[in-house]
Protein backbone atom coordinates (compact mmCIF):
# COMPACT_ATOMS: atom_id res chain seq x y z
CA UNK A 1 0.00 0.00 0.00
CA UNK A 2 2.81 2.43 0.89
CA UNK A 3 4.57 1.49 -2.28
CA UNK A 4 1.44 2.33 -4.27
CA UNK A 5 1.14 5.65 -2.47
CA UNK A 6 4.81 6.44 -3.12
CA UNK A 7 4.38 5.51 -6.77
CA UNK A 8 1.27 7.66 -7.00
CA UNK A 9 3.08 10.53 -5.29
CA UNK A 10 6.05 10.21 -7.65
CA UNK A 11 3.69 10.08 -10.60
CA UNK A 12 1.97 13.23 -9.32
CA UNK A 13 5.30 15.02 -8.91
CA UNK A 14 6.37 13.91 -12.39
CA UNK A 15 3.06 15.16 -13.74
CA UNK A 16 3.48 18.49 -11.95
CA UNK A 17 6.97 18.90 -13.43
CA UNK A 18 5.70 18.13 -16.89
CA UNK A 19 2.74 20.47 -16.35
CA UNK A 20 5.11 23.24 -15.20
CA UNK A 21 7.32 22.71 -18.23
CA UNK A 22 4.23 22.75 -20.42
CA UNK A 23 2.98 25.99 -18.83
CA UNK A 24 6.40 27.62 -19.17
CA UNK A 25 6.50 26.51 -22.81
CA UNK A 26 3.03 28.01 -23.30
CA UNK A 27 4.09 31.28 -21.64
CA UNK A 28 7.26 31.39 -23.78
CA UNK A 29 5.20 30.74 -26.91
CA UNK A 30 2.75 33.43 -25.81
CA UNK A 31 5.62 35.93 -25.32
CA UNK A 32 6.91 35.06 -28.78
CA UNK A 33 3.44 35.81 -30.17
CA UNK A 34 3.52 39.23 -28.50
CA UNK A 35 6.92 39.99 -30.06
CA UNK A 36 5.61 38.93 -33.47
CA UNK A 37 2.54 41.18 -33.05
CA UNK A 38 4.79 44.16 -32.16
CA UNK A 39 6.91 43.47 -35.26
CA UNK A 40 3.76 43.52 -37.43
CA UNK A 41 3.16 47.24 -36.77
CA UNK A 42 5.82 48.37 -39.31
CA UNK A 43 4.16 47.22 -42.55
CA UNK A 44 0.46 46.77 -43.27
CA UNK A 45 0.90 44.12 -45.94
CA UNK A 46 3.33 42.14 -43.76
CA UNK A 47 0.90 42.57 -40.86
CA UNK A 48 -1.83 40.67 -42.69
CA UNK A 49 0.53 37.87 -43.77
CA UNK A 50 2.06 37.56 -40.30
CA UNK A 51 -1.39 37.81 -38.72
CA UNK A 52 -2.61 34.85 -40.75
CA UNK A 53 0.57 32.93 -39.91
CA UNK A 54 0.24 33.85 -36.23
CA UNK A 55 -3.42 32.86 -36.14
CA UNK A 56 -2.66 29.51 -37.80
CA UNK A 57 0.30 28.92 -35.50
CA UNK A 58 -1.71 29.87 -32.41
CA UNK A 59 -4.59 27.65 -33.46
CA UNK A 60 -2.19 24.81 -34.15
CA UNK A 61 -0.43 25.36 -30.84
CA UNK A 62 -3.82 25.52 -29.09
CA UNK A 63 -4.88 22.30 -30.70
CA UNK A 64 -1.60 20.67 -29.72
CA UNK A 65 -1.89 21.99 -26.18
CA UNK A 66 -5.49 20.80 -25.94
CA UNK A 67 -4.51 17.38 -27.19
CA UNK A 68 -1.66 17.23 -24.70
CA UNK A 69 -3.94 18.38 -21.89
CA UNK A 70 -6.57 15.88 -22.94
CA UNK A 71 -3.95 13.12 -23.06
CA UNK A 72 -2.67 14.15 -19.64
CA UNK A 73 -6.23 14.22 -18.29
CA UNK A 74 -6.84 10.73 -19.62
CA UNK A 75 -3.56 9.39 -18.16
CA UNK A 76 -3.97 11.07 -14.76
CA UNK A 77 -7.77 10.85 -14.37
CA UNK A 78 -7.40 7.75 -12.24
CA UNK A 79 -4.40 9.06 -10.28
CA UNK A 80 -5.22 12.69 -9.47
CA UNK A 81 -8.69 14.22 -10.01
CA UNK A 82 -7.46 17.54 -8.63
CA UNK A 83 -5.16 17.98 -11.61
CA UNK A 84 -8.20 18.03 -13.93
CA UNK A 85 -9.52 21.17 -12.23
CA UNK A 86 -6.14 22.90 -12.62
CA UNK A 87 -5.93 21.94 -16.28
CA UNK A 88 -9.46 23.26 -16.87
CA UNK A 89 -8.45 26.56 -15.27
CA UNK A 90 -5.31 26.66 -17.39
CA UNK A 91 -7.37 25.99 -20.51
CA UNK A 92 -9.68 28.87 -19.65
CA UNK A 93 -6.69 31.11 -19.06
CA UNK A 94 -5.25 30.23 -22.45
CA UNK A 95 -8.60 30.98 -24.10
CA UNK A 96 -8.75 34.39 -22.41
CA UNK A 97 -5.14 35.12 -23.44
CA UNK A 98 -5.93 34.05 -26.98
CA UNK A 99 -9.02 36.30 -26.97
CA UNK A 100 -6.87 39.19 -25.71
CA UNK A 101 -4.37 38.54 -28.53
CA UNK A 102 -7.19 38.56 -31.06
CA UNK A 103 -8.44 41.89 -29.68
CA UNK A 104 -4.93 43.33 -29.94
CA UNK A 105 -4.63 42.05 -33.51
CA UNK A 106 -8.04 43.52 -34.35
CA UNK A 107 -7.01 46.90 -32.87
CA UNK A 108 -3.73 46.77 -34.80
CA UNK A 109 -5.62 45.93 -37.98
CA UNK A 110 -7.86 48.96 -37.43
CA UNK A 111 -4.79 51.17 -36.86
CA UNK A 112 -3.18 49.87 -40.07
CA UNK A 113 -6.36 50.59 -42.04
CA UNK A 114 -6.38 54.14 -40.67
CA UNK A 115 -2.74 54.56 -41.69
CA UNK A 116 -3.58 53.21 -45.18
CA UNK A 117 -6.45 55.72 -45.55
CA UNK A 118 -4.09 58.51 -44.45
CA UNK A 119 -1.56 57.42 -47.11
CA UNK A 120 -4.31 57.43 -49.75
CA UNK A 121 -5.29 60.98 -48.75
CA UNK A 122 -1.64 62.11 -48.97
CA UNK A 123 -1.29 60.49 -52.40
CA UNK A 124 -4.48 62.23 -53.62
CA UNK A 125 -3.18 65.59 -52.36
CA UNK A 126 0.18 64.99 -54.03
CA UNK A 127 -1.57 64.11 -57.29
CA UNK A 128 -3.60 67.36 -57.16
CA UNK A 129 -0.41 69.34 -56.46
CA UNK A 130 1.41 67.67 -59.39
CA UNK A 131 -1.52 68.41 -61.73
CA UNK A 132 -1.59 72.08 -60.69
CA UNK A 133 2.20 72.31 -61.20
CA UNK A 134 1.83 70.71 -64.65
CA UNK A 135 -0.86 73.25 -65.61
CA UNK A 136 1.41 76.08 -64.44
CA UNK A 137 4.28 74.71 -66.59
CA UNK A 138 1.96 74.49 -69.62
CA UNK A 139 0.90 78.14 -69.09
CA UNK A 140 4.54 79.25 -68.83
CA UNK A 141 5.44 77.36 -72.03
CA UNK A 142 2.49 78.95 -73.87
CA UNK A 143 3.59 82.44 -72.71
CA UNK A 144 7.16 81.73 -73.83
CA UNK A 145 5.91 80.54 -77.23
CA UNK A 146 3.87 83.75 -77.66
CA UNK A 147 6.93 85.83 -76.70
CA UNK A 148 9.10 83.98 -79.23
CA UNK A 149 6.49 84.54 -81.96
CA UNK A 150 6.30 88.27 -81.18
CA UNK A 151 10.13 88.50 -81.23
CA UNK A 152 10.19 86.69 -84.59
CA UNK A 153 7.59 89.14 -86.00
CA UNK A 154 9.78 92.02 -84.73
CA UNK A 155 12.84 90.58 -86.49
CA UNK A 156 10.83 90.23 -89.73
CA UNK A 157 9.76 93.88 -89.45
CA UNK A 158 13.42 94.91 -88.89
CA UNK A 159 14.49 92.94 -91.98
CA UNK A 160 11.70 94.51 -94.05
CA UNK A 161 12.78 97.99 -92.85
CA UNK A 162 16.41 97.20 -93.73
CA UNK A 163 15.40 96.03 -97.21
CA UNK A 164 13.37 99.23 -97.69
CA UNK A 165 16.37 101.28 -96.56
CA UNK A 166 18.64 99.38 -98.96
CA UNK A 167 16.18 100.04 -101.81
CA UNK A 168 16.13 103.73 -100.89
CA UNK A 169 19.93 103.79 -100.81
CA UNK A 170 20.05 102.06 -104.20
CA UNK A 171 17.60 104.60 -105.64
CA UNK A 172 19.72 107.45 -104.21
CA UNK A 173 22.86 105.90 -105.70
CA UNK A 174 21.10 105.58 -109.06
CA UNK A 175 20.18 109.26 -108.88
CA UNK A 176 23.75 110.20 -108.03
CA UNK A 177 25.05 107.99 -110.84
CA UNK A 178 22.66 109.62 -113.28
CA UNK A 179 23.68 113.12 -112.17
CA UNK A 180 27.35 112.20 -112.44
CA UNK A 181 26.78 110.69 -115.86
CA UNK A 182 25.09 113.91 -117.00
CA UNK A 183 27.93 115.92 -115.54
CA UNK A 184 30.51 113.77 -117.34
CA UNK A 185 28.54 114.04 -120.57
CA UNK A 186 28.52 117.80 -120.18
CA UNK A 187 32.26 117.75 -119.50
CA UNK A 188 32.75 115.64 -122.65
CA UNK A 189 30.62 118.04 -124.66
CA UNK A 190 32.57 120.96 -123.26
CA UNK A 191 35.84 119.22 -124.10
CA UNK A 192 34.65 118.45 -127.59
CA UNK A 193 33.55 122.04 -128.03
CA UNK A 194 36.91 123.22 -126.71
CA UNK A 195 38.67 120.86 -129.11
CA UNK A 196 36.61 122.14 -132.01
CA UNK A 197 37.34 125.72 -130.97
CA UNK A 198 41.04 125.01 -130.63
CA UNK A 199 41.00 123.31 -134.00
CA UNK A 200 39.29 126.31 -135.60
CA UNK A 201 41.67 128.66 -133.81
CA UNK A 202 44.65 126.54 -134.84
CA UNK A 203 43.66 126.78 -138.47
CA UNK A 204 44.10 130.55 -138.24
CA UNK A 205 47.45 130.29 -136.47
CA UNK A 206 50.85 129.63 -137.93
CA UNK A 207 52.23 126.17 -138.65
CA UNK A 208 54.45 126.25 -135.55
CA UNK A 209 51.44 125.99 -133.29
CA UNK A 210 49.99 123.05 -135.25
CA UNK A 211 52.24 120.52 -133.50
CA UNK A 212 51.27 121.85 -130.06
CA UNK A 213 47.60 121.81 -131.00
CA UNK A 214 47.84 118.23 -132.22
CA UNK A 215 49.51 117.22 -128.94
CA UNK A 216 46.82 118.99 -126.98
CA UNK A 217 44.13 117.38 -129.14
CA UNK A 218 45.56 113.91 -128.48
CA UNK A 219 45.69 114.50 -124.72
CA UNK A 220 42.17 115.87 -124.63
CA UNK A 221 40.89 112.93 -126.65
CA UNK A 222 42.52 110.55 -124.17
CA UNK A 223 40.86 112.40 -121.30
CA UNK A 224 37.60 112.36 -123.20
CA UNK A 225 37.86 108.58 -123.64
CA UNK A 226 38.60 108.21 -119.92
CA UNK A 227 35.59 110.35 -119.01
CA UNK A 228 33.40 108.34 -121.36
CA UNK A 229 34.55 105.12 -119.73
CA UNK A 230 33.69 106.63 -116.32
CA UNK A 231 30.23 107.63 -117.49
CA UNK A 232 29.39 103.95 -118.08
CA UNK A 233 30.32 102.95 -114.51
CA UNK A 234 28.54 103.58 -111.22
CA UNK A 235 30.50 105.20 -108.39
CA UNK A 236 28.21 103.84 -105.62
CA UNK A 237 29.51 100.80 -103.66
CA UNK A 238 27.09 98.82 -101.42
CA UNK A 239 25.96 95.26 -100.78
CA UNK A 240 23.34 93.34 -98.77
CA UNK A 241 24.40 89.74 -98.01
CA UNK A 242 22.48 87.02 -96.16
CA UNK A 243 23.19 83.73 -94.39
CA UNK A 244 20.41 81.32 -93.27
CA UNK A 245 22.31 78.32 -91.90
CA UNK A 246 24.04 78.19 -88.50
CA UNK A 247 27.63 79.44 -88.16
CA UNK A 248 29.69 76.66 -86.57
CA UNK A 249 33.19 77.94 -87.39
CA UNK A 250 35.68 79.47 -84.97
CA UNK A 251 39.13 80.96 -84.50
CA UNK A 252 40.24 83.47 -87.16
CA UNK A 253 38.01 82.06 -89.91
CA UNK A 254 36.13 84.62 -92.06
CA UNK A 255 32.33 84.73 -91.90
CA UNK A 256 30.98 83.63 -95.31
CA UNK A 257 27.52 84.17 -96.83
CA UNK A 258 25.17 82.11 -98.96
CA UNK A 259 24.20 84.94 -101.34
CA UNK A 260 23.49 88.66 -101.73
CA UNK A 261 20.36 90.67 -102.39
CA UNK A 262 22.61 93.25 -104.11
CA UNK A 263 26.39 93.74 -104.58
CA UNK A 264 26.88 97.05 -106.39
CA UNK A 265 30.55 97.66 -107.08
CA UNK A 266 31.41 93.96 -106.75
CA UNK A 267 33.42 94.51 -103.56
CA UNK A 268 32.10 91.50 -101.58
CA UNK A 269 33.21 87.91 -102.25
CA UNK A 270 30.51 85.73 -100.59
CA UNK A 271 32.62 82.55 -100.83
CA UNK A 272 35.54 83.95 -98.82
CA UNK A 273 33.66 86.62 -96.85
CA UNK A 274 36.28 89.25 -97.87
CA UNK A 275 35.24 92.78 -98.94
CA UNK A 276 37.69 94.64 -101.22
CA UNK A 277 37.23 98.41 -101.56
CA UNK A 278 36.83 99.18 -105.28
CA UNK A 279 37.42 102.90 -104.70
CA UNK A 280 38.91 104.94 -101.91
CA UNK A 281 36.60 106.44 -99.32
CA UNK A 282 34.84 105.86 -95.96
CA UNK A 283 32.60 102.78 -95.65
CA UNK A 284 29.90 101.88 -93.15
CA UNK A 285 28.97 98.22 -92.27
CA UNK A 286 25.84 97.02 -90.44
CA UNK A 287 25.18 93.50 -89.14
CA UNK A 288 21.96 91.89 -87.97
CA UNK A 289 22.53 88.66 -86.00
CA UNK A 290 19.80 86.33 -84.75
CA UNK A 291 20.48 83.48 -82.29
Helix (H, G, I), strand (E, B) or coil at 291: coil
Over residues 15-35, the mean pLDDT reads 86
Does residue 231 register a pLDDT over 80?
no
pTM of the model: 0.23
* Spatial contact of 228 and 188, defined as CB atoms under 8 Å apart: yes
| CA distance to 51, 82, 205, 270, 275, per residue, from 6 (Å) | 48, 17, 187, 128, 133
Q: For the residues of 6-39, what is the DSSP string, one character each?
A: HHHHHHHHHHHHHHHHHHHHHHHHHHHHHHHHHH
| CA distance to 34, 148, 164, per residue, from 157 (Å) | 82, 14, 10
Over residues 149-154, the mean pLDDT reads 88
Residue 243 has phi, psi (to 5 degrees) of: -145, 125
- What is residue 42's DSSP assignment? G
pLDDT at 148: 86
Lowest-confidence segment of 49-53, 216-220, 224-228, 270-274 by average pLDDT: 224-228
Does residue 1 register a pLDDT over 70?
no
107-135 tens-digit pLDDT: 888 888 888 888 889 889 988 998 888 89
Residue 268 has phi, psi (to 5 degrees) of: -100, 130
pLDDT at 291: 63
Q: What angle do CA 184, 187, 189 make, to 5 degrees?
A: 110
pLDDT at 254: 78
Residue 148 has phi, psi (to 5 degrees) of: -60, -40
162-200 tens-digit pLDDT: 889 989 988 888 888 889 888 888 888 888 888 888 777
pLDDT at 224: 80
51-101 tens-digit pLDDT: 888 888 888 888 888 888 888 888 877 777 777 787 788 888 888 888 888
* Spatial contact of 239 and 263, defined as CB atoms under 8 Å apart: yes
197-222 tens-digit pLDDT: 877 776 777 777 777 778 888 888 88
Lowest-confidence segment of 5-9, 217-221, 246-250 by average pLDDT: 246-250
| CA distance to 9, 10, 16, 92, 190, per residue, from 3 (Å) | 10, 10, 20, 35, 172
128-146 tens-digit pLDDT: 998 888 899 899 899 888 8
Reference 54, options 43, 39, 42, 68; nearest CA is: 39
Amino acid sequence: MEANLAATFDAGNSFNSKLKDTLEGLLGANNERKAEIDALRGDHDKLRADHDALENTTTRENDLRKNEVKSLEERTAKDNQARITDIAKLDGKLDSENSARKEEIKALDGWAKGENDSRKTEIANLKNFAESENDARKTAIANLDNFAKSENDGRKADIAALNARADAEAAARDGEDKALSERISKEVSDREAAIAEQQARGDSQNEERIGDINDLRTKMMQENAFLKSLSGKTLGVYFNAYRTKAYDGGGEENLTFQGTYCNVGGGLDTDTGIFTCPTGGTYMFQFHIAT
